[in-house]
Homo-oligomer: A and B are copies of this chain.
């Protein structure tokens, strides 16, 4: 029996509405949603309030950078509006999360371009869905000398890299790809053979170049 006369969200009371909404989070099923809702209401109403406000604010204010597609809350993202970075380098990633992963290394000082997708022929995503004209325009900036393709090393990411390589070269921009190899801390015995093979092929001379 449900209380009547309530401003309803498809007929749900506020508690069930909250549980229903929490299920929109990836990896949250009915049981977890209920647990989260009870936790917030019972132990952390301030947290619930802060989260609610942050969500509304984020949806309202976070847009895409007009230059690189990264998330931002003004026309240009904080990276694109940082004039101290190297204008000669543009790193192409699939998503803002990938950009974050590279920024987390604190070793890259160029700009980015976020594809917001990838070529995935199996899912019907043709390479043309990547908005090549926008990327092309970005790379046609005379300051850009090198484009680092940092799409993922998955089938889709590799296909995207292959598709972009030829086109970018035609713009007269040097194309590079992130190195593949054995991860730091990795043991050869437990590394898959394809990775070891690639690490062999891409081996680097140590102790100084001879040529």
A residues apposed to B, CB below 8 Å: 1-3, 6, 9, 13-15, 17-18, 20-22, 24-26, 34-42, 44-45, 47-59, 61-62, 71-74, 78-79, 81-82, 84, 95-97, 100, 116
Q: In the assembly, what is the distance between CA of A3 and CA of B18, in Å?
A: 33
CB pair A96 B38 closer than 8 Å: yes
With CB as the reference atom, state the residue of chain B lying closest to A22: B51
Enumerate chain B residues within 8 angstroms of A42, measured Cβ to Cβ. 95-96, 116
Nearest 5 pairs of A and B residues by beta carbon:
A52-B55, A24-B47, A21-B54, A52-B56, A21-B51
CB pair B14 A54 closer than 8 Å: yes
- Pick the most buried of A17, A48, A53, A54: most chain B CB atoms within 10 A of its CB: A54
Q: In the assembly, what is the distance between CA of A78 and CA of B15, in Å?
A: 12
Enumerate chain B residues within 8 angstroms of A48, measured Cβ to Cβ. 24, 55, 58-59
CB pair B13 A73 closer than 8 Å: yes
A57 to B: closest C-beta gap in Å: 5
Question: Would you mind naming 27 contact pairs between A and B with Cβ atoms under 8 Å apart?
Answer: A1-B81, A2-B78, A3-B73, A3-B78, A9-B54, A15-B58, A15-B62, A15-B71, A17-B58, A18-B55, A21-B50, A22-B51, A24-B50, A25-B39, A25-B40, A25-B47, A26-B36, A38-B95, A38-B97, A38-B100, A40-B55, A41-B71, A45-B59, A48-B55, A48-B58, A49-B56, A52-B56
A16 to B: closest C-beta gap in Å: 10
Enumerate chain B residues within 8 angstroms of A14, measured Cβ to Cβ. 54, 57-58, 61-62, 73
